[in-house]
Amino acid sequence: MTIQFKKVAILGVGLLGGSLGLNILQKKMAKEVVGFGRQAANLKLAKKKGLITHIAKTPEEAILGADLILLAAPVKSIAIYLKQIAALASKGTLVMDVGSTKSYIVKQAAELTKKKIVFVGAHPMAGLEKSGAAAAVETLYEGSRCLICFLPQTPAAIKKKVTIFWKQMGSQVIEVSAVKHDRLLGFTSHLPQMVSYALMSVVGDFVTGGDIKKFSGNGFKDMTRLAGSPGSMWLDICETNRENLILALNELRSKIDWMSHLLKANKWRELGDFFNQVSVQKVKVSK
């Protein structure tokens, strides 16, 4: 079964939004994909790459007449777009976001559901540290997981449609509540991002740029890869998942303080036992 749309509007034509547009057009799910964003040069590149068919000068131009609206902007920008959509979109229009936090967005989408506009929160776990239309690729979602937050009132037909949509993108769909999503992602996604920023900052304070290149290997590159992500996007995530992230950071601080204590006290056996325990946990998760 192939899902078809008359007009798709993508607000935020970057890595995620652009890759969705490219897939929609290549899989012939829609003939018209209209993009809107803050940077004209990025939109021109998106059209040149075949990520969209038209460029909208305003959000209103993109939204009007669209039967699928995809919100791929930073989280707080999504909230602004939701207000515009509530005022302009037709009854029955399907609206999906791809933001990294869900509770805040679902709450902001309440006005849509009052006006019979269908909202579904989605979080495709396919992001990279790269951004913009230049980074968009057709294969971005292949083999990825897409976390879906359906609302209690979401019709079964819409659930099926959304599930098929993401499967056509190449994703495995996992249903989860917005609250559970934010709690778990606070530890598995948002905490690692903060660690990467902190690690890069600490090393940068004590090691010059030239020496970092000379005296670091793949481990350092792996640990700091996320630090290359756009700060504006992550600031929105931190603000909209603040409580969960504070909890995660406090737990990490406690663990680091405990390891520091073991080092100061020369408790090598305890430290070694801890390393082995975590190594076993990692092996189990990796299988």
Residue 188: closest CA among 145, 136, 218 = 145
Measured between alpha carbons, how far is 104 from 279 in angstroms, rounded to an integer? 35
Residue 67, exposed/middle/buried by CB under 10 A (0-12, 13-18, 19+)? middle
| Architecture in CATH for domain 181-276 | Orthogonal Bundle (1.10)
Q: What does CATH list as the number for 7-176? A: 3.40.50.720
Quote the pLDDT of residue 52: 97
Residue 93: closest CA among 121, 113, 73 = 113
Structure tokens at 229: 């992500």
Please, which residues have CB within 8 angstroms of residue 127's CB and are 6 or more apart in sequence?
Answer: 15, 16, 100
Measured between alpha carbons, how far is 129 from 87 in angstroms, rounded to an integer? 34
Per-residue pLDDT of the chain in tens (287 residues, 90 and over written 9) = 678 999 999 999 999 999 999 999 999 999 999 999 989 999 999 999 999 999 999 999 999 999 999 999 999 999 999 999 999 999 999 999 999 999 999 999 998 988 999 999 999 998 776 788 999 999 999 999 999 999 998 999 999 999 999 999 999 999 999 999 999 999 999 999 999 999 999 999 999 989 999 999 999 999 999 999 888 889 999 999 999 999 999 999 999 999 999 999 999 999 999 999 999 999 888 87
Quote the pLDDT of residue 1: 66
The length of the chain, given as a count of residues: 287
Contact 121, 105 (CB under 8 A): yes
Angle, CA 130 vertex, CA 202 and CA 224 arms, to 5°: 20
Residue ranges covered by each domain of the chain: 7-176, 181-276
Residue 86's CB is within 10 A of a number of other CB atoms, namely 19
Residue 27's CB is within 10 A of a number of other CB atoms, namely 13
Query: What is the 3-class SS of the chain, one letter each residue?
Result: CCCCCCEEEEECCCHHHHHHHHHHHHCCCCCEEEEECCCHHHHHHHHHCCCCCEECCCHHHHHCCCCEEEECCCHHHHHHHHHHHHHHCCCCCEEEECCCCCHHHHHHCHHHHHCCCEEEEEEECCCCCCCCHHHCCCCCCCCCEEEEECCCCCCHHHHHHHHHHHHHHCCEEEECCHHHHHHHHHHHHHHHHHHHHHHHHHHHHHCCHHHHHHCCCHHHHHHHHHHHCCHHHHHHHHHHCHHHHHHHHHHHHHHHHHHHHHHHCCCHHHHHHHHHHHHHHHHHHHC
Q: Residue 10 to residues 16, 28, 122, 207: CA-CA distances in angstroms?
A: 10, 16, 14, 42
